[in-house]
Amino acid sequence: MVDVRDEREIVYSPAEAGNLALRVIDERRRNPGGVRLGIPCVDEALLPLRPGELCTVIGRPSNYKSGLLQYWARKVARDILAEDAYEREIVVFVTWEMAVEEIVLYDLAASTRLVASDIAQGRVDEAVWEKLQAAAMNRASVPLWLIGHSIERRRKRPRLALSNVAKALQAIDEELGLHPRAVFLDYLQLMESEGRLGEERTRRMDVFENVYRCKDMALALGCPVILGCQARREVDEREWKLPAIGDGQESSGIEFTSDKIITLWFPRVSEELGAKLPGTELVVSDDLLILGLKKQKMGPAGMWWPLYVDPAQNIITDRDDVLPEAL
């Protein structure tokens, strides 16, 4: 028998709905912050992410999806430190793609300005080793938590389905009193199926449902969720290879469910170095990254920016003399 009291929790009278909206507006009036990307030219157009929002970042393989998510997560963690909010707020980065040890390796490389590939291959002398140890101690004070699989704990690992992730986040909140300011999920197509054993399903159904679970997670946790998503192969056949709003692989639900959609193109992966990008004066280089804002509820969309990255140290910058172009 259904408990009617539970169903009442999703019903709002006109007065209740109006009061809830006023509380949100008052909170934003007193605290206009929100979660920003931290790249000035993009932040002029990209509205701060708010609790309950799902922001999807779409790109082809090796086009810097994980890099952008890691950069963004570190930026939010630094904001929490700067506001002295680390005793009550954290950032959570969930990875299906990399081991926890690999994620922290990139953290340490970024903080020490060392080359991650050198560290990964063990090219570390005593001076560098001391730098890394000091960076690891500093990393311990950064409110950036990780959920994923560890190489060392590989025999004890549970399933990394979204329901397990949600339970872990709930435990962090309820038992430790730490609320996520933002949750980063890297990435959609690697998430495990939530279907019941023996149930006939397709991969497309699993991905479609996981998109909705990501949005539900944002609402349940009361924080923004930033979701990495693979773009479909058709993007590679185009002259202009910045993914469009409907280019999320395996799921049309992305374009309907996401509150914001960002797309990425790292031209050096698909174009010749030194060539000009179609219709622009931009020259393909090792560090050029194109970022597009394809969807944004209650805000502008349909523009893109050239950014410049150092993948080895996970640094992203803009240039003040390069303005966004409208598509």
pLDDT averaged per 10 residues, the chain (length 327): 61 83 76 86 95 96 95 95 94 92 86 85 92 92 92 71 90 93 93 68 80 93 95 95 90 86 97 96 95 95 95 80 41
The predicted pLDDT at position 79 comes to 95
According to the model, what pLDDT value does residue 196 have?
Answer: 59
Task: Give the number of residues written for the chain.
Answer: 327
**Residue-wise burial string across 171-199, b where 16 or more C-beta atoms lie within 10 A, e elsewhere:** ebbeeeebbbbbbbbbbbbebeeeeeeee
The CA–CA distances, whole Å, from 226 to 63, 130, 295, 320 equal: 17, 34, 14, 26
Give me the residue label for tokens 């500093």.
138
For residue 179, the model assigns a pLDDT of: 95
Region of residue 40 (phi > 0: left; psi between -120 and 50: alpha; otherwise: beta): alpha
Tens of pLDDT, residues 278-308: 999 999 999 999 999 999 998 999 999 999 9
Tokens in use for 164?
Answer: 């397990």
Q: What is the reported pLDDT for 5?
A: 55
- For residue 1, count other CB atoms closer than 10 A to its CB: 3
Question: What gap in Å lies between CA 257 and CA 225, rounded to an integer?
Answer: 12
In sign, the C-alpha dihedral spanning 257, 89, 107, 286 is: positive
Predicted TM-score (pTM) of this structure: 0.87
User: DSSP strand E in 26-142: where?
Assistant: 54-59, 89-95
pLDDT at residue number 251: 63
What was the pLDDT predicted at 320? 42
Contact 58, 243 (CB under 8 A): yes
In the chain, where the domains are located: 35-262
Q: Return the CATH number of the domain spanning residue range 35-262.
A: 3.40.50.300
